Amino acid sequence: MRKILSLTALVAGLSAGLVTASTARADIVVGFVTSLSGPGASIGIPYGRGIQAALEYKGEVNGEKIRLIQLDDGSDPSAATRAARKLIEEEKVDLLIGTATAPSTIAMMAVATELKVPMIAVSPVTGQPNPEDQWGISVPQPASLLVKVVADRMKRDGVKNVGYIGFSDAWGDLVYNGAKAAEAGEGIKVLTNERYARVDTSVTGQILKVLATRPDAVLIGGSGTQGALPLLALADRGFKGKTYGTVALVNPDFVRVGGKAAEGIQVSAGPVIVAEQLPDSHFAKKLALEFRAAYQKANNMPTTDGFSAYSFDGWKIFTTAAERALKTAKPGTAEFHKALRDEILNTRELAGVHAIYNFKAGAYHGVDERALVIVRLVNGAWTYEP
């Protein structure tokens, strides 16, 4: 009896498999991985909300419905790898989008390349892809660009000598290297390379060292709440010069902790941060306001961050490419995956809420200086500084 039962089950399973394989699917399936738990959650949760807003904004392409499957990777690269495999092999997704931390994103990119499914990364990916076998792109502005735009502003402000203090981690290195690279072109000079850890109790020593070189301005290579620590120490020592930073500082807790000491700092950030203040002619204004409305509708709360907007821009790149790819192939097939990849790498002058995107094989990033504006902290609010 048991034998017959298992045989029946086998036959049923086989035929079911055959049926799925033979029917071309009507809807496009997107696999989205983000960090809803673990240390990456403070970025991963906004990414998740951003993708919900994007789905609300555009839920179908050429009449084909888009089905979104979301998985949590717990900020763990091996969990991200498993999630990516599961999405491709079991759910047969046509596209991967993810995730909140850089190591997990790189791990997912490896799976996407191996199984030949296109991927849109919402975290910065460093390095250079092999143009013959590139299956992924990255949406955010790279650190070098963030710093270059700040350096341009320093030059305009007449700053010559810059003191640098940043985190003693990869982010601190990226910002410092960006500033060093900008030295020649912008005529500025980076005088110090002081570092501190997120859990340090004091930066007095580092700040004294920075001030001993008599800089016109100080560049902060920290992020989030603890990015305010050098600013507080500078204020204690009565520093009157200008301060600069990157979008990594834009966070409500940074403003709360920094208080008066953080006033006046200028950072480079995506235009969506100050959408309401942009001039009507700015490419991001109309779309950013539409994004805000969609976000409000999907999540029932206003946007406060720039991260959710990366998900939104990733979605915009995907849907635009899918419109063209659908003309040549049906979703769920290998031909469609290849067509979608080719069309994503063929994105030209596509306006998002963060940037105007131009992708080509051989590079992960596809943004230029138009992707960043300078904002200044005035009375606890970020203000557009054209």
Partner 1 sequence: MTADIAAILAIDGIATGAVYALVAIGTVLIFTVTRVIFIPFGDIAAFTALTLAALDARQLPGTVGLVVVLACMACVMELASLARAGELRAAPKAVLGYLVLPLLAVGIVWLVMRISPPMPIRIVLALLLILPIAPLLDRIVFRPIADASVLLLLTVSVALHFALVGLGLLFFGPEGVRTEPLTSLALDIGDVHVPGQTVLILTAALVFSGLLFLFFDFTLLGKALRATALNRTGARLMGIRPARAGTIAYLLGSLMAGVSGILIAPVNTIFYDSGFLLGLKAFVGAIIGGMISYPGAALGAFGVGILESFASFQSSTLKDVIVFSLLIPVLLWRSLASQHSEEEVEE
Q: Which residues bind partner 1 (CB under 8 A)?
A: 39, 41-42, 168, 193-206, 208-209, 212, 224-226, 228-229, 236, 253, 257
Look at strands 266-269 and 242-246 and give their pairing. parallel
Compare residues 256 and 297 and give the one whose CB is closer to partner 1: 256
Compare residues 104 and 320 and give the one whose CB is closer to partner 1: 104
Shortest separation between residue 253's beta carbon and partner 1, angstroms: 5
Q: CA-CA distance, 166 to 234, in Å (whole number)? A: 14
Sign of CA dihedral 35, 36, 40, 45: positive
Compare residues 206 and 319 and give the one whose CB is closer to partner 1: 206
Shortest separation between residue 204's beta carbon and partner 1, angstroms: 4
Shortest separation between residue 298's beta carbon and partner 1, angstroms: 23
What is the distance between the terminal CA atoms of the chain, rounded to a whole angstrom? Answer: 79
Q: CA-CA distance, 197 to 172, in Å (whole number)? A: 10
Compare residues 42 and 346 and give the one whose CB is closer to partner 1: 42
Shortest separation between residue 351's beta carbon and partner 1, angstroms: 33
Compare residues 236 and 368 and give the one whose CB is closer to partner 1: 236
Q: For residue 255, what are the contacts with CB-CB under 8 A and spacing of at least 6?
A: 262, 377, 380
Compare residues 41 and 322 and give the one whose CB is closer to partner 1: 41
Q: 65: which strand partners?
A: 60
Shortest separation between residue 308's beta carbon and partner 1, angstroms: 17
Contact 150, 267 (CB under 8 A): yes
Compare residues 79 and 119 and give the one whose CB is closer to partner 1: 79
Shortest separation between residue 180's beta carbon and partner 1, angstroms: 15
Compare residues 239 and 359 and give the one whose CB is closer to partner 1: 239
Shortest separation between residue 49's beta carbon and partner 1, angstroms: 16
Shortest separation between residue 42's beta carbon and partner 1, angstroms: 5
Compare residues 87 and 218 and give the one whose CB is closer to partner 1: 218
Sign of CA dihedral 134, 98, 322, 273: negative
Shortest separation between residue 195's beta carbon and partner 1, angstroms: 5
Compare residues 90 and 253 and give the one whose CB is closer to partner 1: 253
Shortest separation between residue 207's beta carbon and partner 1, angstroms: 9
